[in-house]
Structure 1
């Protein structure tokens, strides 16, 4: 694949240097050299533990390319797919599904219509780039259409890189929206280098430090900030730009964030999961008023999963004798997470709130990799089955396979070692997987 428009003005430079008013985005390579890893493969039909030695789709071996640029790496992932785009009838059918149901899997968790539906979806009418990003996302949701995802991704990414070079496009919300959606397509590929371009667009528009940001631009900045929180991504290969900490957290302390459906006050804590006081901070979180019980259960699942996750991270760096852990066992925390997830399922939330079904993925994954007995592992499998309803399994089946690999290879190991097994399994797929 040739990413047109990427060959001239998209240059590397200091991350602290905002783009000039008449120029394209200036980026900086942030990815350290990677170890040799295996080609991307489709493991939807078999567990990761049993398929890591079988290649189904042969993509370039990134480690064999001398110092590839981050965005070059994004392009290389789609070189193997040379088919033309699906016909208009197929595209229209996917678009109809996205505008009615698909968009709800990435936003709307706060319990009401969001700016994505009212302000961003209409932009597809005049932007082939955003439209193809939407089609790629919708195709990724169903195993029967997932083979079309890289075809639409190829077109969307090429057009998006052209837009980054076009000064007139940098000031338009559609460019931000396209970049956000390209990062949100939870398929097996590397996506975090795109955050650098999004950060550059925000800089070019002087949105980062503007207290009077237009509502849609503010919504998109928060979306970029959420994607940039590193703890929600398996095998994140680029360092966090700390967009949430720097530009959202200082100004948002109450209310519910639209995309994640999580209160700002809780998300601010989760964005600092590597803090030495995070367990106490999460335990002392006072909560927030919600519109329905399912929201309360979801927030509780995230809060407790955050404590479990912080223990996985702390295990890497400090001895348990110096840890700031509180006196609550990991087993109790796990069961509380499962109880919250089971409550959401029991309420019947999935029958009318598809967005909440996807929302439980993060706490389910964290509790799942730490599950130590047959009962907890069965609870994990059942919850994943609810997410993968009607055969639209997408990435969730792969995540379940990764969890099963942790059960097989991490039995008796520390919390940190189990998270590491999951991370390494994702790295073997040449992928970054976000979990919210």
Structure 2
């Protein structure tokens, strides 16, 4: 493992704010990457890293935070390569996963804890794509992050606080299908009351607060409706406002599905959510920096509770239209499980997307 050097970071100019990215040839040479791994890293830079967040391509926390750290950690590098390999599957992806796990488990106790958390977080996402159970590791990472935050200070701008936010948002029950381990409800315990936009989800922290509270089984439907009303009065970029509205409405629908709240206007809410998704989809056509994955969870929420043919067809076509699915099996699980759930409920079975996912041994984060 070699120490990184800012002299080996290159400035990439663009119409977006200036960013720093690792000098790929130097990075590959310094860690002894073969051509295959070099190609995987390049693919991660170009597109794969967008599977880890909902922010724009150029101005995102993965580029600014994670990649320069790869120059200092072989374990983190192995996790990134494992994650990118998991996007296409195959025998090689499992071999890279095994290597990443060996390096992760052997990270010295004196290692900067932020590197341990970064590595574990990437491995969680790779595990999900390869069909392994991963929420057990997430649970351990959340515990570690909580201890680190207590030991190193709870300032909102510290690396520890930011990492805890990322793990806390991943830990939300409402967007994990087939979960086997209980949530620690980290956001509701540690992260409430923040302001601004959380970089990984691309959502306002005030909305994430409400989503976290909904995961506790609390009826906060009135608070969410007030949040939606307030957002409509603010000067917010159109595409962002529409996806935020869609996520807020999806939270209401999720609460209704889980019987945390009894809503009388589900049909109206569903129509409103579909309208916001439509506006967001139109924005995607003209702004290539928008991340289409932001529409995934709201569409899933509509689909998992849909009983009529038209709504189910709408969800199926919208998911296909987002163009998110490909060779990796995990990329096709969401529509596959939705369709199996619909077919079995039509046949009179009492199943949910969660129960179907558990039958298949799948734990899937809807992001």
Which shifted more, 358-367 or 171-180? 171-180
Asked if the contact 2:178–2:354 (Cα under 8 Å) also holds between the matched residues in 1, the reply is: yes
1:327 equivalent in alignment to 2:272: no
1:100 equivalent in alignment to 2:46: yes
Residue 214 (structure 1) shift? 5.3
CA 424–268 in structure 1, closer or farther in 2 if over 3 Å, else same: same
Q: Please list every run of 5 or more consecutive structure 1 residues that lacks an aligned counterpart in the other structure.
A: 1-86, 316-323
Give the match's secondary structure for 2:135: coil
In the other structure, the counterpart of 1:372 is 307
Asked if the contact 2:176–2:366 (Cα under 8 Å) also holds between the matched residues in 1, the reply is: yes
1:131 alignment partner, one of 71, 77, 95: 77
Asked if the contact 1:202–1:221 (Cα under 8 Å) also holds between the matched residues in 2, the reply is: yes
Which shifted more, 89-98 or 195-204? 195-204
Distance in 1 (alpha carbons) for counterparts of 2:38 and 2:236: 35
Paired residues for 1:83-232 under 5 Å: 88-109=34-55, 113-142=59-88, 145=89, 147-163=91-107, 166-169=108-111, 171-185=112-126, 186-187=128-129, 188-207=131-150, 210-212=153-155, 215-232=158-175
Give the match's secondary structure for 2:199: coil
Distance in 1 (alpha carbons) for counterparts of 2:285 and 2:343: 32
Please give the TM-score of this superposition, normalised by the length of structure 2: 0.81
1:307 equivalent in alignment to 2:252: yes
Distance in 2 (alpha carbons) for counterparts of 1:344 and 1:206: 36
Residue 268 (structure 1) shift? 0.7
In the other structure, the counterpart of 2:8 is none
Asked if the contact 1:209–1:247 (Cα under 8 Å) also holds between the matched residues in 2, the reply is: no
Distance in 2 (alpha carbons) for counterparts of 1:262 and 1:335: 21
Higher helix residue share:
2
CA 390–353 in structure 1, closer or farther in 2 if over 3 Å, else same: farther
Distance in 1 (alpha carbons) for counterparts of 2:139 and 2:325: 36
Paired residues for 1:394-409 under 5 Å: 394-409=329-344
Please give the TM-score of this superposition, normalised by the length of structure 1: 0.69
In the other structure, the counterpart of 1:429 is 360
Distance in 1 (alpha carbons) for counterparts of 2:151 and 2:250: 30
1:383 equivalent in alignment to 2:318: yes
Asked if the contact 2:253–2:301 (Cα under 8 Å) also holds between the matched residues in 1, the reply is: yes
Q: How many residues align?
A: 329
Distance in 2 (alpha carbons) for counterparts of 1:184 and 1:326: 34
Distance in 2 (alpha carbons) for counterparts of 1:195 and 1:338: 32
Paired residues for 1:46-57 under 5 Å: none
Distance in 2 (alpha carbons) for counterparts of 1:218 and 1:204: 11
Give the match's secondary structure for 2:361: coil
Asked if the contact 2:203–2:244 (Cα under 8 Å) also holds between the matched residues in 1, the reply is: yes
In the other structure, the counterpart of 1:348 is 284
1:281 alignment partner, one of 218, 223, 233: 223
Residue 102 (structure 1) shift? 1.4
Give the match's secondary structure for 1:338: helix
CA deviation string 1:288-310 (max 9, x = no partner): 85753111111111111111111
Asked if the contact 1:133–1:153 (Cα under 8 Å) also holds between the matched residues in 2, the reply is: yes
CA 112–304 in structure 1, closer or farther in 2 if over 3 Å, else same: farther
In the other structure, the counterpart of 1:256 is 197
Q: Please list every run of 5 or more consecutive structure 2 residues that lacks an aligned counterpart in the other structure.
A: 1-32
